[in-house]
Chain A
Amino acid sequence: MGKILRVDLTSKKITAEELPEEVLKNWIGGRGLGVYIMLKEVDPKVDPLSPSNKAIVLTGPLTGIPGVPSSGRWCSVTKSPLTGTIHDSHSGGKFGPELKFAGFDAIIIEGASEEPVYLWIYDGKAEIRSAKHLWGLDTHATTDAIKEELAKEIGEDEAKNIKVACIGPAGENLVRFAAIINDYNRAAGRGGHGAVWGSKKLKAIAVRGHKKVPIANESKFKEAVRKAMDKIKKSPVTSEALPKLGTAVLVNIINQHGIYPTRNFKTGVFDKAEEQSGEKLVETILDDQLVKREICWGCPIGCARGTRIKGKWTGEGGGPEYETIWAFGAQTGTASLEAISKANYLCNELGLDTISTGHVIGTLMELVEMGKIPPEKLRGLRVEWGNEEAIVELTWRTAFRSGIGNDIAEGALRLAQKYGAPEVAMVVRGQELPAYDPRGAQGHGLGYATSNRGGCHLRAYMIAPEVLGVPELVDRFKTEGKPGLVKHFQDVFAVIDSLVVCKFTSFAIWSEDYAEMLSAVTGWDVVPSDIEKIGERIWNAERAFNILAFGDGREFDTLPKRLLEEPMPEGPAKGHVVKLSEMLDEYYKLRGWVNGRPTKAKLGELGLDWLASRLGGLLPS
């Protein structure tokens, strides 16, 4: 554990390093370790698209270990060109375990190349190769071309098992929400990590390896994994709903609760939700063969979707997931599952985050409705709620920064600011909000507002307790008790992201299970309270990075005015707004913060004195 590959794209120098065990004990891996490295090595004020920013690719201590449920993921950490915050983005598939089999836990990419390059890592060896011939290709063509070219060197059978993470035209064109795509259809989607790769002229990373990940205590490990797997098999969510209907199961659930954001969060009820539901998807476009191809390495849940569409829109590929269906669907007022899927395939192939892409198209539709966009900018395209032609065409235009796509590529906030209506940007810290209207889920609203990486549903997934009743149902319209729940979820989720295990396991297992598996694999003695403490450390370190970067604090812990001041107009959440002010002070108190910033004492308690002295006068007195 702790083997790092450092790749300087400016000097083309590659070195291997080992991290001290103490660092790993404090930060684990994945998101936590990435945040630590960024704080130690990168000036938080750095321009995210400059050579001084770093792009870090990480796995976790449980990645690639057979038996650990849903440990086939990987994570990217960088400073985001969309939000200017510290940012981690995660992806499934098979790339993460393969990197581990190739002998590395993480890759730190620094500097920038003048010419396009890709990185090839094979059984402990790494080399930088030219990607001039790959520049301009989409993610599928890039992946195939790399496998074909390496097959000549390592043989076809071996090359078949190469895993590739790469960027498409969107990353090359520095779209602020460009994704990194691995295994054809899996995305480290949010926050524009693909643009950071693009700015470094890094087209791809290809990996292949044969190493086995060591386990410190085999008998303890078997017992911990058996317990975790039992719970996953017993939970109806992880054994029934997710495998059968995928994440799209949420479309009807969320719409029936009146919090399915529709037409840029104007309302929470979409009258055509049934047409794009998980149930409908299974009946119409799901393809069992394609599903098998998409399922992540070592996953007993297997929620992935593979679909094929015929008719007006044709194609096949991974997805669509719940968030994608919402972003291209209700957010733009579009019903057609086929058009949504087509836009999804294009995002995978061109390298775009589906959430931000669909979301910003919805923002543009509202700006057009308001008469803010000069008609000549749209080149005759009808950019109107529910026009499926528009969502498909605007997707490719975004990747190529073509026409109005050049404005969409800047994200909802910059788009709305440019055309004089910043209030329609439904963002937190510049990141577009996802598929839940928090006016009908108060805790979820607090989760959005306080998210260090900007608008995100997965920092504190309050939908679990507030809507789904996991682990226990709480009243979604009440604010009492929510700050404590949000903090607890934020801290534990920070650790799940650092173990680099799928968050869907958390529908069945929690701190004690993660602690047991981590202890068995590493030989450390980790207890559940350690998990929460490490999570809190990561959360505070992220906030510290943001304070140093742009003065983060109370003024950023907020939501768009629409959610705070305009009552939900209809449906089960009618009349509600997010009562953020009722929750924020208690949240700060529980965190040991003043006005959105940690105190010196809190940082000291978490072993972050070195950060406290760096922050100096920026901390509350």
Chain B
Amino acid sequence: MARIKAWRTFAQLDFFFFLFFGVIMRVRINVFVTLRRELGWKNKIVQIDSEKAILFEVISVIPELANKVFDGDKIRSGFIVLVNGRNVRFLNEGRTRISDGDEISIFPPAGGG
């Protein structure tokens, strides 16, 4: 019973949140390699008050990250940006559609073997 009650409370909260603020989207951003030291974090959840957004808008929520990844609205050469494991160069680059629950992973140019 307690669990159902808790769920109801949560659902009501979300409903009121929706009434006041509209739809909210949560996206996880992971950064790797030297970006971690430069930015001082490994991952962040970004919230956007919209049901749809493009990659450029989502990354721009964190300006210091956007400056590193984008040159204007173009992804810098050699950067690997994945949305759910798919390189955005095969999606729609900076205009790739991002949805609630998506995971974005960003790597500066790297190699090995």
Q: Using a CB–CB distance below 8 Å, which chain A residues touch chain B?
A: 235-238, 240-242, 244-250, 252-253, 256-258, 278-279, 303, 322, 457-458, 461, 463-464, 467-470, 473, 475-476, 503-504, 507, 571-573
Contacts and interface: CB of A to CB of B under 8 A. Distances in A.
A463 B113 contact: yes
A236 B108 contact: yes
Contacts of A303: 112
A253 B80 contact: yes
Interface stretch (B8-16, B28-36, B46-54, B58-66): B28-36
Given A240-B108, A279-B32, A256 B113 contact: no
Interface centre among A253, A464, A571, A573 (most CB of B within 10 A): A253
B72 interface: no
Given A256-B85, A572-B84, A572-B86, A504 B111 contact: yes
Contacts of A235: 109
B82 A250 contact: no
Interface string B62-106: 000000000000000010101011110110000000000000010
A247 B113 contact: yes
Contacts of B1: none
A241 B32 contact: no
A242 B109 contact: no
B110 interface: yes
Contacts of A476: 87
A249 B87 contact: no
A573 B85 contact: yes
B113 A279 contact: no
A86 B110 CA distance: 32
B113 to A, nearest CB: 6
A327 B109 CA distance: 24
A249 B110 CA distance: 7
Contacts of A457: 113
B80 A279 contact: no
B111 A244 contact: no
Given A249-B33, A475-B90, 9 more contacts: A237-B78, A240-B108, A242-B111, A249-B110, A322-B113, A458-B113, A463-B113, A468-B80, A473-B87
B85 A279 contact: no
Contact of B113 (A244, A245, A504): A504
B80 A249 contact: no
B74 to A, nearest CB: 14
8 contacts: A237-B109, A237-B111, A241-B108, A247-B112, A250-B112, A468-B109, A468-B111, A573-B85
Nearest to B79: A469
A599 B84 CA distance: 45
A294 B26 CA distance: 45
A256 B105 contact: yes
B113 A461 contact: yes
A469 B108 CA distance: 11
Nearest to A463: B113
Contact of B110 (A237, A258, A461, A573): A237
Nearest to B84: A572
Contacts of A257: 82, 85
Contacts of B30: 256
A74 to B, nearest CB: 18
A395 B78 CA distance: 38
A245 B109 CA distance: 12
A249 B112 contact: yes
Contact of A469 (B36, B78, B85, B105): B78
Nearest to A457: B113
A241 B34 contact: yes
A240 B85 contact: no
Given A241-B33, A279-B33, A464 B82 contact: no
Contacts of A571: 85
